[in-house]
Amino acid sequence: MKVKKVPLRKCIVCQNMYPKKELLRVVRTPDDQILIDQSGRAAGRGTYVCRQESCLTPDTFAAGKWKKVLERALNTSISQEQYEEFRTTWMEMMGR
């Protein structure tokens, strides 16, 4: 029996490759909203973030690294208002 290939994706923060199911997906929807995609199937341009503490912590948000990385990965410019809304949602999801 043939072994099924596991799809790998790269974390946009640490640049390491992980199986797709282990990552969190962030999506830019066709109407330019930035959402956290729990199902992994939302329509739009998606990118992935691993669940390592270093990639999920507020320090990476505070350093401004996330905004630039998200803009590059999602091929769009993100307003500060959109970014703050996304950051708040992310922190609530992470329980911080």
pLDDT tens-digit map of 5-54: 999 999 998 899 999 999 999 999 999 999 999 898 999 999 999 888 88
Contact 14, 55 (CB under 8 A): yes
* pTM, to two decimals: 0.86
Q: Which domains does the chain have, with CATH numbers?
A: 8-94 (3.30.1230.10)
- Counting every residue written for the chain, the total comes to 96
Selection from 7, 33, 29 nearest residue 18 by Cα: 7
